[in-house]
Amino acid sequence: MHQPNPNLIMMTNHLSPEKQLELIEETIAQAKENLSKHSFPFLFWGWLVSITALVNYVLLGYSAFGEKSYLIWPISTIGAIYMVLYYRKTEKTQSRLTHLEYFLSRLWMVLGAVILLFSFCITFMDLSPWFFFPFIAGLGTIISGVMLKFTPLTLGGILLLAFPVYSVNVSNETLLLLYAAVIILAYLVPGYLLKRKSA
């Protein structure tokens, strides 16, 4: 961590107005958001969903399980539960929490809860998971990208949010392949680019 100028952080002296402004600027710059820290949820979802979608595609097309092999939605639901628990634990244990970290953790906790509610409703309502999951995930990703001022993530969110539109005429099996590709572009690519960003 960059240490503030020791000449400015003296024990008891009061500072001149010029030095005070200098200290404020230095200290605020020092507390800059660590962007790479925000990559974890996108890498987690990127790997989880893309691998699940590909395995699901193989099971659906080349195994005897047929329609019973739809792993993608239950695993996404388990992922949402894990993320809610992850954010709760992170908030409690980390030594500092910026306003942005707090906002994003609450955003994803709420969206995770919406996904859980939807997963429950889908058992008795005629709702399409191919619309709902990408839409909610895309919405959260766009907001995260805008708040982090990280364009690749915003573009990834748009790609995900628009999934129900451009996938409308795609067959069920191919949807899984398309979804895996979209998740790689929307989560894994921006996730790794974000991870490379320093504080």
Q: Which is nearer to another protein, 16 or 169 (CB)?
A: 16
Instruction: Please give the structure tokens belonging to residue 27.
Output: 């200290």
Rounded distance, CA 144 to CA 109, Å? 13
Q: Which of 31, 51, 117, 121 binds another protein (CB under 8 A)?
A: 31
Query: 189 and 152 in contact (C-beta within 8 Å)?
Result: yes
Total binding residues toward another protein, as defined by CB under 8 A: 32
Task: Decide: is 147 part of the binding site for another protein (CB under 8 A).
Answer: no
Binding mask 101-140 for another protein (x = CB under 8 A): xx--------------------------------------
CA 80 from centroid of its chain's CA atoms: 11
Binding mask 87-106 for another protein (x = CB under 8 A): -----xx-xxxxx-xx----
φ/ψ of 117, rounded to 5, equals: -60, -45
Per DSSP, 65 falls in state: T
Local structure of 66: helix, strand or coil: helix
Amino acid code (one letter) for 56? N
Task: Decide: is 34 part of the binding site for another protein (CB under 8 A).
Answer: no
Q: Interface residues with another protein (CB under 8 A)?
A: 1, 3-4, 6, 8-15, 17-21, 23-24, 27-28, 30-31, 92-93, 95-99, 101-102
